[in-house]
Amino acid sequence: MTEARASSRGADSSGRQETTLRSTIDTESLAEARRLIGYDYRAARSTIEVSADNTRDYANYIGSNNRMYLDPAYARSSRWGRPLAPPTIVGTSIIAPGLRGVQWIYGGARWRFHRLFGPGDVLAQTGRLVDAEAKSGRAASSMIMQKGVTSCVNADGETVVETEVYTMRIPRKRASSGGLNYAKRETTWTVGELDGFAERLLAQRRLGRGPEIRYWDDVDVGESVDEVLCGPLRLSDIALTRGTVVYGIIGGGRDENGGYSYMLDHYRRHPAHSYENPETGVTEHPHRGHWEQYMADEVGMPGIYDIGYQRLGWLCRVITDWMGDDGRLRALEGWLRRPNVVGDVTYVSGVVTEKRLADGVGTVVCALSGKNQHGEETVRGSAEVELLARGTDTEQLP
């Protein structure tokens, strides 16, 4: 295995170190990654206490004003008889063990929602690595894609949500031939453009279908899902992702959650998780490319970039607004296609691609897509939704 070794000392008493970085992704790298298949990933383990507070926070974070999440009294009068949580609030943990010093980039996820859940539920989340394979793409000549699965189980031992999570592993630029190859760019807007975005964001609050039933019978293949504006992306959006999802307050797992002596201990145990700030000399986490230009450059991003969970949350917001209170999201997948950097706006829309009816249950499949201000697709996905068919006795439905 070819490696660029800056130091073999590991961390010093301050936690500062120069870690071993891989200069290539090769057959030995792939063998190392595959050796960990079946590994029970400690960082994915989490007890998720779904509350009215974190449900509200997550709904606000994805831009949803759905009353099923935000108004308990209203939700109790619905078909479901209880408040619900946005389904993608859980199952977001990155599962990417091994490959010391190789950057992880969130690639996407595929959820299956087996049971409804909401405030008051306590879910036990676990995760494991199930596959690793070599890939190449437009932005990186070589990478390893790691596939993990998470499972969220309720207090009765019933599986509520299962997720497949995909993570790209790419050497950083400090290693020769490392990093992505995106050209740097900055986004600026005029006051008039920003005012226009603000007006549209406020108007979008009326897009949710709410209690008006969207019947399966009335949906046609080729029908559009209303477009929603998300953005411009701000550093505060990224900070909310870090605090709301990644730090495990909701469903991102419990790794690297702490400060000071906790992080010193963490970096000593996992030196490849640390990176020295060239300006201060302080050891920090390479995750900081989400809010610091230097690390974004080291990863090869075009600028300070988002945490990808949020874009998948936007897909969830768009489809749950479209289906209405009586719809049920059964599956959702989303794949990150290009970076979303600070200042970017994203236009998320969809189209109905399939519909079927079985045992009184109407199912609709929608393709979803998000494009930035340059017309580049930055996120792509699909959703499977159950809708009521006319004349159906809801009490007989599962």
User: Which helix (DSSP H) or strand (DSSP E) does residue 283 occupy?
Assistant: strand 283-284
Task: Answer yes or no: is pLDDT of 1 > 50.
Answer: no
pTM: 0.88
**Phi, psi (deg, nearest 5) at residue 104:** -105, 135
- Residue 81 to residues 117, 191, 359, Cα–Cα distance (Å): 12, 45, 23
Q: Write the single-letter amino acid at 313.
A: G
- pLDDT at residue 272 in the model: 61
Are the CB atoms for 175 and 4 separated by under 8 Å?
yes
DSSP 355: E
Who has greater pLDDT, 180 or 332? 332
Half-sphere exposure of 137 (CA within 13 A, CB side): 18
- Residue 146 to residues 20, 34, 38, 173, 202, Cα–Cα distance (Å): 20, 9, 12, 20, 39
DSSP string, 164-185: EEEEEEEE-TTSTT-S--PPP-
Task: Answer yes or no: is pLDDT of 14 > 90.
Answer: no
Grouping H, G, I as helix, E, B as strand and the rest as coil, residue 233 is: coil
Q: CA–CA separation, 233 vs 229, rounded Å? A: 11
Q: Exposure of 347 by Cβ count < 10 A (0-12 exposed, 13-18 middle, 19+ buried)?
A: middle
- What are the residues facing 324 on neighbouring strands? none
145 sits in the region (left: phi over 0; alpha: psi -120 to 50; else beta) called: beta
Q: CA–CA separation, 194 vs 242, rounded Å? A: 25
- Residue 118 to residues 53, 62, 281, Cα–Cα distance (Å): 11, 16, 44
Task: Answer yes or no: is pLDDT of 177 > 70.
Answer: no
The share of the chain scoring above pLDDT 90, in percent, equals 57
Q: CA–CA separation, 194 vs 34, rounded Å? A: 47
Task: Answer yes or no: is pLDDT of 170 > 70.
Answer: yes
In this structure, of 12-16, 155-159, 222-226, 245-249, the range with the lowest mean pLDDT score is: 12-16
Residue with tokens 């070794």: 5
Supply the angle between the helices 309-323 and 52-61 in degrees, to the nearest 10.
100
On average, the pLDDT of the chain sits at 85
- pLDDT at residue 10 in the model: 43
Are the CB atoms for 21 and 3 separated by under 8 Å?
yes
The confidence band for 250, taking pLDDT boundaries of 50, 70 and 90, is low
Angle at Cα 156 formed by Cα 243 and Cα 108, nearest 5°? 40
Q: Which domains does the chain have, with CATH numbers?
A: 3-391 (3.10.129.10)
The confidence band for 189, taking pLDDT boundaries of 50, 70 and 90, is very high
198-216 pLDDT per residue, tens: 999 999 988 899 999 999 9
Are the CB atoms for 368 and 380 separated by under 8 Å?
yes
Q: CA–CA separation, 119 vs 49, rounded Å? A: 8
- pLDDT at residue 25 in the model: 77
- pLDDT at residue 273 in the model: 63
- Tokens for 389, please give them: 């068919």
Q: CA–CA separation, 155 vs 170, rounded Å? A: 38
Are the CB atoms for 117 and 154 separated by under 8 Å?
yes
Task: Answer yes or no: is pLDDT of 243 > 80.
Answer: no
Grouping H, G, I as helix, E, B as strand and the rest as coil, residue 348 is: strand
**Phi, psi (deg, nearest 5) at residue 74:** -60, -45
Are the CB atoms for 134 and 25 separated by under 8 Å?
yes
Q: CA–CA separation, 83 vs 68, rounded Å? A: 6
SS (H, E, C) 9-26: CCCCCCCCCCCEEECCCC
Who has greater pLDDT, 273 or 241? 241
Closest among 198, 203, 205 to 232, alpha carbons compared: 198
- Residue 285 to residues 140, 289, 391, Cα–Cα distance (Å): 22, 9, 56
Task: Answer yes or no: is pLDDT of 355 > 60.
Answer: yes
What average pLDDT does the segment 227-249 reach? 76
